Structure 1
């Protein structure tokens, strides 16, 4: 279980046993769990694994103290909770109470984050690619020169574009006149996307657009502006996001309070002084 907002630090240098109220988190348990906590180095991975196991032990001990009984659930894929997972779920359901996100809160979030609810612009575009590796300066310069020559030719006669793409482009799209169909900024390189955003429909790029693939001559055929989704369409999604964020913070604080009451050896968890979020 990964709870946002809870941090750990080594209590002392050297390998010390980790215990929670006298219950040891064995090195064997850490070794079994460590694959689920990848990190930059083995020491960090082991520390993060121990942290997760300490949190789990704290929650299981509290569930036992409160006399909570496990009632494992089965999900849509017929996967059944373990006894420990069920105990922790029921504990948090009973002990961590958070408010529902009302419509006013959802609307404030919506109005403050309109960009998050706008669909991407769609572009219909074509290109001619003169391929060159970015780490080959001579080939790159040659590709740019060929692209410039193509642009000059197209200034004289735009209708040459499809034929030139078929004859010269190093992209498979050359077989269909360079057409890339409909695409979004996220489907192309940043340089290509930036060029599209600055072009007008019907325009051919005035200069080669260089990317890691080489030099491109781009033609923008059509732009379909994205639109902002209505509040009513995304209200439920916003409410779920806000409620989950509040719940995660409340759970982190609840765990910090449990840690403050517990005797934890070998690893120090930061404990909260403030009361649990209601």
Structure 2
């Protein structure tokens, strides 16, 4: 049993809370559940000390209701200024660039991820096809003869692609490539792809006015998370807690 300033938190309560804290092991889930209940109790106790009226939704009081009320009463959380937002924009230009556009065609040599023999065979064939294409074989004909993708009917063309339109393992490779036939096949969950980047249009820097609010929201949320962590840490230090050691927690909140 855990005691939070003489208020008990039972093992049954921790076991019931575990369903909301999935983890790799039962012990980790129990620690997360216990931490959540301890913090929730600290927030409830502090709100009671201050005599705060907690707003509810559908007559249900949550930990966030207490936290929001306490932060409004006891913590001054600054908001990002225009100067700070613009500085962040200038220091992180790569975050505010539109996706490059690629015009790509490919030959998919299908092989399931768990079929080792098929993947070895596909890789070997991809090496042969790359060599043949480098020597002048028609990509359109090769796609029609070997590709397992419906795009074979259009010479393997995938049209224009921007980030987020393909699977990550394929995307990482093609967006780091320069125009031309890629010297090696790309391995993905679908098999091995022989790829030619036909054209690459670089991404464009987005104007500050278009991302200003997004930057402000990001910086404000970052400051709020830090303020929450510091506030909860203060409650923990001031409390008498038996049966739970916050040093055992790997929660980002407590780091």
Q: Same fold (TM over 0.5)?
A: yes
Question: In the alignment, does 2:55 pair up with 1:55?
Answer: no
1:12 is aligned to: none
1:226 alignment partner, SS class: coil
Structure 1: gaps of 5 or more residues: 1-16, 74-79, 271-278
Q: Distance in 1 between matches of 2:155 and 2:128?
A: 18
CA RMSD in angstroms, aligned pairs only: 2.5
Q: Distance in 1 between matches of 2:7 and 2:101?
A: 58
Shift of 1:145: 4.7
Shift of 1:215: 4.2
Question: In the alignment, does 2:42 pair up with 1:42?
Answer: no
2:185 is aligned to: 209
| Matches for 1:17-166 after TM superposition, within 5 Å | 17-73=1-57, 80=58, 82-85=60-63, 86-132=65-111, 135-136=116-117, 139-140=121-122, 142-148=124-130, 150-152=132-134, 155=136, 160-166=138-144
TM-score (norm 2): 0.83
Shift of 1:138: 5.2
Alignment length, in residue pairs? 241
2:227 alignment partner, SS class: helix
Q: In the TM superposition, what whole-angstrom CA distance separates every residue of 1:78-120 from its partner, at most 9, and x where no partner exists?
A: xx47224433321222212111110111112112211111122
Shift of 1:193: 4.3
Q: In the TM superposition, what whole-angstrom CA distance separates every residue of 1:7-27 from its partner, at most 9, and x where no partner exists?
A: xxxxxxxxxx20111111111
Structure 2: gaps of 5 or more residues: 248-255
Q: In the superposition, relative to structure 1, how do residues 250 and 112 fare at CA in structure 2: closer, same or farther (>3 Å)?
A: same
Q: In the superposition, relative to structure 1, how do residues 242 and 192 fare at CA in structure 2: closer, same or farther (>3 Å)?
A: closer
The question of whether the paired residues in 2 share the 8 Å contact of 1:189 and 1:211 is answered with no
The equivalent position to 1:235 in structure 2, one of 212, 215, 225, is 212
The equivalent position to 1:262 in structure 2, one of 206, 225, 239, is 239
Q: Distance in 2 between matches of 1:269 and 1:217?
A: 52
TM-score (norm 1): 0.77
Q: Distance in 2 between matches of 1:138 and 1:92?
A: 58
Shift of 1:224: 2.1
